[in-house]
């Protein structure tokens, strides 16, 4: 996992990738002041790559996350909104060939934008392909992340119960 992988395969709700000249090895989706903000960066302390989801006040109000007990709902929200996907180029090529003029040129242009998934989706919407997410296929890493998130929520819930019993 690195910034290039996140750019190429990551889709985080409606957040768009933000240019980041100060930290070239990091990747940002959304802005710090928006409802939600995703940032990924290599972190030496954990010897790995960290992906952070920052839920701001608008997000917290929308999903009614007010107390630590409400945190258990965060993973489910994240699972529904964030994930890593690959483009099904065969399905996309079939669709473009059937519905649009100059399919080869369009596919070439689309492939040129495939380095950043959100840019590719924007491009597809611009050439009037509705709901381009239908050409995305989830990567196996999603299951690992979702399982870890669900398990974290379960442990967070249990910690409270254990604390109450004392």
Which chain residues interact with another protein by CB under 8 A? Answer: 1, 43, 45-57, 60, 65-66, 68, 71, 74-75, 78, 141, 144-145, 147-149, 151-152, 155-156, 158-160, 162-163
Closer of 21 and 66 to another protein (Cβ)? 66
Nearer to another protein, 74 or 116 (CB): 74
DSSP state at residue 16: -
Convert 28-42 to b/e letters by CB count within 10 Å (16 or more is b): bbbeeeebbbbbbbe
Q: Shortest Cβ distance from residue 56 to another protein (Å)?
A: 5
Residue 146 near residue 79, CB atoms below 8 Å: yes
Least distance from C-beta 87 to another protein, angstroms?
22
Closer of 60 and 93 to another protein (Cβ): 60
Longest Cα–Cα distance in the chain: 69
| Cβ nearer to another protein, comparing 54 with 112 | 54
Nearer to another protein by C-beta: 104 or 154?
154
Compute how many other C-beta atoms are within 10 angstroms of the C-beta atom of residue 3: 19
Nearest distance, CB of residue 66 and another protein, angstroms: 7
Q: Which residues pair with 43 in a beta bridge?
A: 48
Q: What is the C-alpha radius of gyration for the chain, rounded to an integer number of angstroms?
A: 19
Quick one: which of 36, 75, 59, 46 has its CA closest to 156? 75
Q: How far is the CB of 122 from another protein (least distance, A)?
A: 25
Question: Coil, strand, or helix at residue 129?
Answer: coil
Could you tell me the smallest distance in angstroms from the CB atom of residue 63 to another protein? Answer: 10
């Amino acid at each position: 996992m690195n910034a290039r992988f996140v750019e190429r395969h990551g889709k985080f709700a409606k957040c768009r990738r933000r240019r980041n000249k100060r930290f070239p090895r990091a990747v940002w989706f959304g802005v710090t002041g928006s409802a939600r903000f995703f940032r990924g960066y290599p972190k030496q302390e954990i010897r790995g790559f960290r992906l952070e989801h920052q839920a701001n006040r608008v997000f917290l109000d929308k999903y009614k996350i007010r107390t630590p007990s409400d945190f258990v709902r965060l993973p489910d929200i994240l699972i529904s909104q964030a994930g890593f996907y690959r483009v099904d180029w065969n399905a996309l090529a079939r669709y473009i060939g059937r519905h649009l003029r100059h399919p080869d040129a369009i596919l070439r242009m689309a492939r040129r934008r495939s380095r950043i998934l959100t840019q590719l989706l924007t491009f597809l919407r611009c050439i009037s392909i509705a709901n381009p997410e239908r050409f995305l296929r989830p990567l196996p890493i999603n299951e690992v992340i979702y399982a870890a998130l669900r398990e974290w929520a379960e442990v967070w819930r249990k910690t409270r119960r254990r604390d109450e019993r004392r």
